[in-house]
Amino acid sequence: MTVMDRSTAPDAGDPDFLPTPPDLYGRRERDRVLRGLGIAGRYWFPAWQRLIHPGEPQEVDRTLTVRIVDRRVVARDENVIELTFGPVGDEPLPRWYAGAHLDLLLPSGRMREYSLCGDPTVQDTYRIAVRRIPDGGGGSLEVHDALKVGDTIRVKGPRNAFPLSLPGFGSPATRMRFVAGGIGITPILPMLATAERLELPWSMIYVGRSRESLPFLDELRPYGSKITIRTDDEHGLPTPADLLGDEDSGSPSAEPSTVYTCGPPMMLENLRQALIGRPDVELHYERFSAPPVVGGRPFTITLAKSGVRVPVAADEPALEAIRRELPGVPYSCRQGFCGTCKIKVLDGKVEHRDTILSDAERDAGSMLICVSRCVDDELTLDL
């Protein structure tokens, strides 16, 4: 084998001569036109890939780093803390509207969603509140135990899955009723501020186990009689009529109204049932836990990397069944809208129950395991 020293300039008559391609004018230097085309191609190629695969949405990076500038206990039982975030550097924080939430990317790698609960007109800080849940998935414990004033944390958003449509501003309703259960007050707080600023007619009921467990009671005091506080230890469990207040005439009224609610699953379900057949009342709700499985049937998931077979009960989300084997499997909203639990399906037919995957993503074999299920009896997942 001949090893050639390219630092010398071999004769063109030499049979081992490997020339640098001459340029358009016979020069051995690279031609400027070719060099320009090469550079243009480097940038054009990725753009062209997007054009020829239009069905595959490109992820928009909405991640930013914020600093924790304040931390405060906001319930008398000391189980709810409020965290206030400020910008890092000169970049202003993106704007948000009532009902929006942030995804916190926690140091452990967990992602958890928390409603923004400050005033949307305050643009230099974000505020969230988190109840400590000892038997949850560990996210709230990490927020309580690991996040301190001065720390920075990455967040995604804000995004709004619970937007407020206001009477006179896109909604035919003439009055608003807010129903908050415990930590479900968080998305409702900015809604109250917005309704108050626009001088809209509104009322609210705030329910929970006890006064000690209810966050932000001091902050609500200035709203006076517009807010009713009702606790289980003093009054027993509230009925739908208690929750709906004036909106509960029992039959459609001439004055349409709108109900915004966030709280425990049973409270939301009771309200939903009570408002069936009431076209005069718009119901908007946000859950902070997984919805019940409706119309499910049992099936089995095979975890491809270990071969372990996981039975999923008819009334059980696939995510919960998988977490028995793989406790660290990523998830956040548990309601099929954040995309954190997206997994590739290697075999089997999926019954998609989410609201965000595109047809292209479904065709490519993606599944959101927090809500979606199996059409037949068996699924194999890339886990």
Assess contact for 187 and 286: CB atoms under 8 A. yes
Q: How far is the CB of 331 from ligand FES (least distance, A)?
A: 4
Burial code (b: 16+ CB inside 10 Å, e: under 16) for 319-346 equals bbbbbeeeeebebbbbbbbbbbbbbebe
Q: What are the DSSP calls for 344-383, one per residue? A: EEEES-EE---SS--HHHHHTTEEETTT-EESSSEEEE--
Residues facing 111 on adjacent strands: 105
Applying CB under 6 A, the span of 12-20, 62-70, 166-174, 326-334 interacting with ligand FES comes to: 326-334
Residue 113 or 248 with smaller CB distance to ligand FES: 113
Lookup: tokens for 161: 């899955």
Q: Smallest gap, in angstroms, from Cβ of residue 323 to ligand FES?
A: 11
195/370 with CB nearer ligand FES: 370
- For residues 203 and 335, which CB has a smaller minimum distance to ligand FES in the complex? 335
Judged by beta carbon, residue 79 or residue 332, the one nearer ligand FES is 332
Assign 211 to helix, strand or coil. helix
Instruction: Identify which of residues 321 and 341 has a Cβ nearer to ligand FES in the complex.
Output: 341
Determine which residue in the list 368, 379, 381, 383 makes contact with ligand FES, applying CB under 6 A: 368
Peptide bond into 158 cis (omega under 30): yes
Q: How far is the CB of 224 from ligand FES (least distance, A)?
A: 38
Helix runs in the chain, H state only: 32-52, 139-146, 185-197, 217-220, 232-235, 240-244, 265-274, 318-325, 359-363
How far apart, in whole angstroms, are the C-alpha atoms of residue 263 and residue 180? 6
- 370 touches ligand FES by CB under 6 A: yes
Q: Which is nearer to ligand FES, 206 or 288 (CB)?
A: 288
Cβ atoms of residues 241 and 272 within 8 Å: no
Q: How many residues does the chain have?
A: 383
Residues that contact ligand FES, how many (by CB under 6 A):
12
Task: State in angstroms the smallest separation of the CB of 362 from ligand FES.
Answer: 14
3-state secondary structure of 159: strand
Rounded least distance, CB 329 to ligand FES, Å? 10
Q: In what order do the strands lie in the sheet with 366-368?
A: 309-312, 299-303, 378-381, 342-347, 366-368
Of 103 and 282, which has the nearer Cβ to ligand FES? 103
Among the candidate windows 123-131, 193-201, 307-315, 331-339, which touches ligand FES by CB under 6 A?
A: 331-339
Q: Mark residues 213-232: x for contact with ligand FES by CB under 6 A, - for none.
A: --------------------
For the window 335-354, what string marks contact with ligand FES as x by the rule CB under 6 A? -xxxxxx-------------
Q: Output the smallest distance, CB 143 to ligand FES, in A.
A: 17
Which among 11-19, 37-45, 66-74, 329-337 is the span making contact with ligand FES, rule CB under 6 A? 329-337
Nearer to ligand FES, 213 or 332 (CB): 332
d(CA 211, CA 140): 21
Q: In 9-134, where do the E strands start and end?
A: 63-73, 80-87, 100-105, 111-115, 126-131
Judged by CB under 6 A, the chain residues 49 through 108 that form the site for ligand FES are: none
Contact residues: ligand FES, CB under 6 A:
331-334, 336-341, 368, 370
